[in-house]
Amino acid sequence: MEAAGPVSTGGKFVVVGGGIAGVTCAEQLAIQFPSEDILLVTASPVIKAVTNFKQVSKVLEEFDVEEQPKTMLENRFPNIKIIESGVKELKSKEHCIVTGDGSQHVYKKLCLCTGAKPKLICEGNPYVLGIRDTDSAQEFQKQLTKAKRIMIIGNGGIALELVYEIEGCEVIWAIKDKAIGNTFFDAGAAEFLTSKLTAEKPEGRIAHKRTRYTTEGKKKETQTTAGIGSMGSALGPDWHEGLNLKGTKEFSHKIHIETMCEVKKIFLQEEFRISKKKSSPFPRDHSNQSVTTDNEVWPVYVELTNEKIYGCDFIVSATGVTPNTEPFLCGNNFALGEDGGLKVDAYMHTSLSDVYAAGDICTASWQPSPVWQQMRLWTQARQMGWYAAKCMAAASLGESIDMDFSFELFAHVTKFFNYKVVLLGKYNAQGLGSDHELMLRCTKGQEYVKVVMQHGRMMGAVLIGETDLEETFENLILNQTDLSSYGEDLLDPNIDLEDYFD
């Protein structure tokens, strides 16, 4: 169907999406082409801006992320023009996009940065919540204030952060795996962290270096009106910091973990009553105290594949994301990755002419460095947005460009259970087969250091706590230094590794 509406001509650089990937891409294009107008089309009234960017080492970076009204970006870069509208169609043959009001915008080069949306276990069930943007996080907080028990499904970043932050509410955490946090850790690290969940009182915050999600100074009118089903930007580092994640009761953690199971069926209250099935009470801990009685009637019940059934006030589906490609697929023959993302080559170029993609929407399909992998993270969204702009500029100027250094080594700094966590390279021996060794150093309650070695070379590392090892290990992985002669000394805390290798 032809979209009626005004057509803007001229062929600009056009970026779709006001998250970190899109904003970084638009900013970089605006810097490179100061006399050209850059068009940024985004569905949400606020944009995500990187502030206080700091390159901590060769690849590790720290920054804050701020939600800002779009005018702030336009003021900073007068050649960026922002249109607040959801793109509903891409006509790649005509080189134009169609926005919500039917307007068409012709591009010479286009970068798609529309992120991803939560992949929920059960779409459309009002008792199943996903967390993606400011609105969905606030909705979750609102529901939590009335809750006595919730169920969390999933074992990735969101689940890990939630189980630690939630207080005053029983949490049943159902995971497919044997140990917690499988996207980030192995079982050893999981065990190191699990002790924190049984601590009665949340301890004081330790100082940590981590990218921070901030809404400081955010005015009410800048808040997104987009919900889960619509198109707000993904939250990011420390997204829960401003939220009071407290249920109805006065206690810190009350978590029961059900391992190696998935959701079999979800029953609403009446359905459950009719089914005549029996639900389990919350398993009692060492104090033998339970907050809820065995006879509670719950709004929703979850039957797990291990046959256990628990009632709860609502369910959080923290089960990963799906790239937000939907508006662009109709009539366009994009090559898609297995995860549904737009495949991009080493120049962030999709399979369609002059169409680039960056951030959560894309699937990196180049031959990666042996110690890099894609993960849908804040840092990679920034790096990809920046590099996509460089590639778009190089292509339009007929110049060549080398792959950005940030793709040489996977590096992620975050915080779980109040510990600083640094992940480097093939930190979980991803794709290394059985031909690798692990070295460990662990001091309970303080630090957990794991390195992944292959043929005497360091391929990856997990650093939990204030280990101060990240820069040295980053260099060892990047340089592929032969470490065979050092053996276990590599992790000896009495040896200053920097003296050895710097």
Q: Which residues bind ligand NAI (CB under 6 A)?
A: 121, 153-159, 161, 176, 182-183, 262, 318-321, 375-377, 414
User: Which partner, ligand NAI, ligand FAD, none, binds residue 16 by CB below 5 to 8 Å per kind?
Assistant: ligand FAD
Q: Tell me the two tokens of residue 314.
A: 């609502």
Residue nearer to ligand NAI on the CB measure, 155 or 325: 155
Task: Give min distance, CB of 95 to ligand FAD, in A.
Answer: 17
**Torsion angle of C-alpha atoms 365, 368, 370, 373, degrees rounded to 10:** -60
**300 in Cβ contact with 268 (< 8 Å):** yes
Residue nearer to ligand NAI on the CB measure, 90 or 245: 245
Closest CA to 375 of 414, 401, 349, 405: 414
Task: Give min distance, CB of 424 to ligand FAD, in A.
Answer: 14
CB-closest chain residue to ligand NAI: 156
User: Which partner, ligand FAD, ligand NAI, none, binds residue 231 by CB below 5 to 8 Å per kind?
Assistant: ligand FAD
User: Which partner, ligand FAD, ligand NAI, none, binds residue 42 by CB below 5 to 8 Å per kind?
Assistant: ligand FAD
User: Which partner, ligand FAD, ligand NAI, none, binds residue 218 by CB below 5 to 8 Å per kind?
Assistant: none
**441 in Cβ contact with 449 (< 8 Å):** yes
For residue 207, give every residue at least 6 positions away whose Cβ sits within 8 Å of its Cβ, in sequence order, or none.
none
Task: Give min distance, CB of 423 to ligand FAD, in A.
Answer: 11
**E strands along 237-378, which residues?**
255-258, 263-268, 300-304, 309-312, 314-317, 321-323, 342-344, 355-357, 362-364
Q: Tell me the two tokens of residue 454.
A: 């292959």
Q: Tell me the two tokens of residue 119.
A: 């992949």
Residue nearer to ligand NAI on the CB measure, 158 or 497: 158
Task: Give min distance, CB of 421 to ligand NAI, in A.
Answer: 8
Residue nearer to ligand NAI on the CB measure, 82 or 174: 174
The burial class, CB within 10 Å (0-12 / 13-18 / 19+), for 81 is middle
Distance CA 105, CA 320 (A): 33
Residue nearer to ligand FAD on the CB measure, 38 or 234: 234
Most distant CA pair in the chain, distance: 72
Task: Give min distance, CB of 89 to ligand FAD, in A.
Answer: 9
Residue nearer to ligand NAI on the CB measure, 264 or 284: 264
Which residues in this chain contact ligand FAD in the complex, by CB under 6 A? 16-22, 41-44, 48, 86-87, 113-115, 131-132, 157-158, 231-237, 239, 324, 327, 359-360, 376-379, 381, 414
Residue nearer to ligand NAI on the CB measure, 182 or 472: 182
**152 in Cβ contact with 159 (< 8 Å):** yes
